[in-house]
Amino acid sequence: MDYSLKSFEYDKSKKQLKAPTSKFVYGSFPPDLIVQSHMTGLRIQFRPIGENHPLFDQDQWDGEQRIYEPIPEDAHLCPSVTTLVIYNS
């Protein structure tokens, strides 16, 4: 499913997009998502980080958040974003 970049806050110091689950379907964590820039039209696909990622948590943050990263094919398109976090609010 596609989501507008307007749905996210941007943390420049972490190169991270953030949004609460309330902005997503059924208030849950999507298995993957596409974020589209409302300014450039650029679309980036994100998937949950894997166990080799430095931010991975074995307990999955007790269901309180999920961290995503751009798929390898899209990562070079937007180097200013390295992760995306959806959190319960």
Residue 25: its pLDDT value, please?
64
Whether the Cβ atoms of residue 65 and residue 42 lie closer than 8 Å to each other: no
Rounded Cα–Cα distance for residues 89 and 87 (Å): 6
Helix, strand, coil percent values for the chain (each to nearest 5): 20, 35, 45
**Which three-class secondary structure state does DSSP give residue 31?**
coil
Residue 26: its pLDDT value, please?
67
Residue ranges of the domains in the chain? 2-69+82-87
Q: Is the pLDDT of residue 86 over 80?
A: yes
Q: Is residue 35 very low, low, confident or very high in pLDDT (cuts 50, 70, 90)?
A: very high
Q: Is residue 58 very low, low, confident or very high in pLDDT (cuts 50, 70, 90)?
A: confident
pLDDT single digits (tens) 3-26: 999 999 999 999 999 998 887 766
Residue 63: its pLDDT value, please?
72
